Amino acid sequence: MSLKKFEILEMIAKGGMAEVYKAKTTGLQGFEKEVCVKKILPHLTEDDSFVNMFVNEAKLAATLNYANVVQVHDLCVSAGGEYFIVMEYVNGKDLSDVIRAAQLAGREVPADIAVYIAREVCKGLFYAHSKTDPSGANLNIIHRDISPHNVLVSFMGEVKITDFGIAKASSIMNKTAVGILKGKYGYMSPEQARGQPLDHRSDIFNTGIVLYELLVGERCFAGSSDFSTLNLMRNAEVTPPTKINRSVPPEVEAIVLKALSKERGDRYQDALALEGALADWAKKANSVATATELARFMRELFAQAEEREKAGSTGVLALSSVVGPAPKSEAEVARHQINPLAGAEGRRPQGRGRPGGPGARQASRHQGRALAGRSPGRGPRPRGAGGGGGAADPGARARAGP
Ligand SMILES: Nc1ncnc2c1ncn2[C@@H]1O[C@H](COP(=O)(O)OP(=O)(O)OP(=O)(O)O)[C@@H](O)[C@H]1O
Ligand SMILES: [Mg+2]
């Protein structure tokens, strides 16, 4: 497959909304640049109201130019009427991949690394929330879908938010009878779960969800049905992180819970305030992680994942250390772990970064979703459990406290 200006190299993922490809642009004298091309699925672009909103939002997103936001380069329409967003290619993984890889390796995402990632997300959000038009009026940009899937981490330790504006456009296609977004169960602020108007503090709530899931390795909102999950989100009912992972520093837990306040007036009022609180903790606890440490963590984690793949392991052994006795087969792992929401979400079963083509990716993402659900009956992990507390582990200091 090729587009006029781009050569498609490989499919990264396919979901309910788009197909994502790695591609390259070519130019004068052998000029080449890797890009990411997102092809909006045709059933969405049949709807004029979707297309209008999508184009407007993509234009707005293209004005965002900041280190912590995936740069949108172009919006194209093919002769056949297919819509493509061309954006910066991030050589890395999304946070759902990171959380899953850590679980499969029986490791935790160290608190200082999780906090660093959340701080970078906050910086990207603050930039977007503060973006003004040429007359100086705030553009009121809200992401609306900050979730582990929409935060990319490169192997160089960069953290980038993707899909600004996409959620707004997709919302008009996905309204259920009660007027809320289908497929976003688990990643909505209380006001979003109630179908109420949003402001930038909705993104702050969702950043709290992302940090929560990085710290505990489990879904923040995962009821036994869509309905119960929706209720948990509407009431911002969360299990405190330390109840699941005792190694989460209490000060970080307090910050997460404040970000996850039901009333937006009780949350951090802007992304920089949340970033500042996390920065203060990191300094006080002598746990300031850097991009270099994040890069090292990413390389370690995904080298381990590659080793497992080479060895043909499904991660069952590693999993057993997290959730109890090892089930006999991968199918049993899925049954054992599956969160009803994982299936009900119906979003992009595919994952990425797994050699062997889209089929293999599909299995990978499916397993990832399942693993990300709350493990029924799982008690708190003892301090340092999960294999992440070795001397070389940058989180060891963080877990040991200030
Ligand atoms: N700019 C990019 N560079 C590299 N990989 C990307 C890029 N954008 C997206 N991806 C990868 O493609 C995957 C699928 O992206 P996509 O946005 O279609 O779905 P999603 O983020 O999982 O769900 P959502 O519909 O909520 O955005 C991402 O999770 C990420 O792994
Ligand atoms: Mg996305």
Task: Write out the chain in H/E/C secondary structure.
Answer: CECCCEEEEEEEEECCCEEEEEEEEECHHHCEEEEEEEEECHHHHCCHHHHHHHHHHHHHHHCCCCCCECCEEEEEECCCCCEEEEEECCCEEEHHHHHHHHHHCCCCCCHHHHHHHHHHHHHHHHHHHCCECCCCCECCCCCCCCCHHHEEEECCCCEEECCCCHHHHHHCCCECCCCCECCCCCCCCHHHHCCCCCCCHHHHHHHHHHHHHHHHCCCCCCCCCHHHHHHHHHCCCCCCHHHHECCCCHHHHHHHHHHCCCCHHHCCCCHHHHHHHHHHHHHHCCCCCCHHHHHHHHHHHHHHHHHHHHCCCCCHHHHHHHHCCCCCCHHHHHHHHCCHHHHHHCCCCCCCCCCCHHHHHHHHHHHHHHHCCCCCCCCCECCCCCCCCCCCCCCHHHHHCC
The tens digit of pLDDT for each residue in 289-319 reads: 999 999 999 999 999 878 877 777 544 333 2
pLDDT at 367: 33
97 given a catalytic annotation: no
Query: CA-CA distance, 357 to 92, in Å (whole number)?
Result: 17
Lowest mean pLDDT among 43-57, 75-89, 177-191: 177-191
- Residues 195-203, mean pLDDT to the nearest whole number: 95
The tens digit of pLDDT for each residue in 99-123 reads 999 999 999 999 999 999 999 999 9
Closest C-alpha residue for ligand 1 atom 10:
20
Q: What's the whole-number average pLDDT of the chain?
A: 77
The pLDDT of residue 47:
82
Confidence of residue 167 (pLDDT cuts 50, 70, 90): confident
The whole-number average pLDDT for the span 242-249 is 97
Contact present, 253 and 139 (Cβ < 8 Å): no
Ligand 1 pocket test target in 150, 171, 369 with most atoms within 8 Å of CB:
150
Looking at residue 396, its pLDDT comes to 32
What span, in angstroms and rounded, lies between the C-alpha atoms of 352 and 355?
8
Nearest residue (by CA) to ligand 1, atom 22, is 149
380 pLDDT tier (thresholds 50, 70, 90)? very low
Q: Is the pLDDT of residue 384 over 50?
A: no
pLDDT at residue 133 above 60?
Answer: yes
Task: Read off the pLDDT band of 5 (50, 70, 90).
Answer: confident
**In the prediction, which pLDDT does 184 show?**
60
Which residue of 73, 147, 149 sits with most ligand 1 atoms within 8 Å of its CB, as the best mutation to test the pocket? 149
- Band of the pLDDT at 170, cuts 50, 70, 90? low
Domain ranges of the chain: 6-90+322-342, 92-295
* pLDDT for res 42: 86
Question: What was the pLDDT predicted at 3?
Answer: 52
Atom of ligand 1 nearest to the CA of 183: 26
Of the given ranges (157-171, 226-240, 263-277, 371-385), which has the lowest mean pLDDT?
371-385
Judge whether residue 228 has pLDDT over 70: yes
Give the residues surrounding ligand 1 with Cβ less than 6 Å away: 12-13, 15, 17-18, 20, 36, 70, 87-90, 94, 145, 149-150, 152, 162-163, 348, 352
Cβ neighbours for 77, distance < 8 A, ≥ 6 positions apart: 83, 84
For the chain, percent of residues with pLDDT exceeding 70: 73
CATH of 92-295, one of 3.60.20.10, 1.25.40.10, 1.10.510.10, 3.20.20.30: 1.10.510.10
Distance, CA of 266 to CA of 257 (rounded, Å): 10
What is the structure's pLDDT at 251?
98
Rounded average pLDDT over 345-370: 33
187 alpha carbon, closest ligand? 1
| Mean pLDDT score, 36-45 | 88
Do 6-90+322-342 and 92-295 agree at the fold level? no
Q: Looking at residue 231, what is its pLDDT?
A: 94
Whether 173 shows a pLDDT value over 80: the answer reads no
Percentage of residues in the chain with pLDDT exceeding 90?
54
Distance (angstroms) between ligand 2 centre and the Cα of 149 equals 6
The ligand 1 atom at the shortest distance from the C-alpha of residue 187 is: 26
Class of the CATH-defined domain 6-90+322-342: alpha beta
Q: Determine the Cα–Cα distance for residues 387 and 391; give it in Å rounded to an integer.
A: 11
Q: Is the pLDDT of residue 95 over 70?
A: yes
The active-site residue, picked from 97, 145, 163, 393, is: 145
pLDDT of 372 higher than 50: no
Query: What number is the average pLDDT over the span 268-289?
Result: 98
